């Protein structure tokens, strides 16, 4: 077990093997939560920050743009179908 020391500025340096084992890198942010035995560190982000334009292509949709009204109508139509109520043709 490694021992670390609290600096005069309230800083702790986590040993490199601990940081590496969790994949923690410089600049990461953590929540600090009091616990029964001390404190608990939790990374605030598990994934890289992305913009919508970076990931929207993964949807695979290439048709015309739909409005919110179009989507609402499609949902209503789907809810009226027999499949939406558990009644579907078992021969499919």
For residue 40, tell me if it sits in a domain. no
Q: Note the pLDDT of residue 80.
A: 83
CB atoms within 10 A of CB 30: 13
* Residue ranges making up the domain that contains 75: 52-85
For residue 87, pLDDT beyond 80: no
- Express each pLDDT in 38-71 by its tens digit: 999 998 876 777 788 777 776 777 778 889 999 9
For residue 8, tell me if it sits in a domain. no
Its pTM stands at 0.46
Q: Note the pLDDT of residue 7.
A: 95
Is residue 37 within 8 A of residue 30, CB to CB? The reply is: no
The total domain count for the chain is 1
Of 90 and 23, more confident? 23
Distance, CA of 12 to CA of 10 (rounded, Å):
7
For residue 36, tell me if it sits in a domain. no
């Amino acid at each position: 077990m490694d021992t670390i020391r609290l600096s005069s500025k309230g800083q702790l340096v986590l040993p490199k093997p601990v940081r590496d084992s969790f994949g923690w890198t410089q600049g990461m942010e953590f929540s600090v939560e009091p616990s029964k035995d001390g404190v608990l560190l939790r990374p605030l982000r598990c994934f890289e920050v992305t913009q919508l334009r970076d990931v929207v292509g993964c949807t695979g949709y290439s048709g015309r743009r739909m409005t919110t009204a179009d989507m609402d109508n499609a949902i209503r139509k789907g809810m009226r179908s027999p499949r939406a109520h558990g009644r579907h043709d078992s021969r499919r």
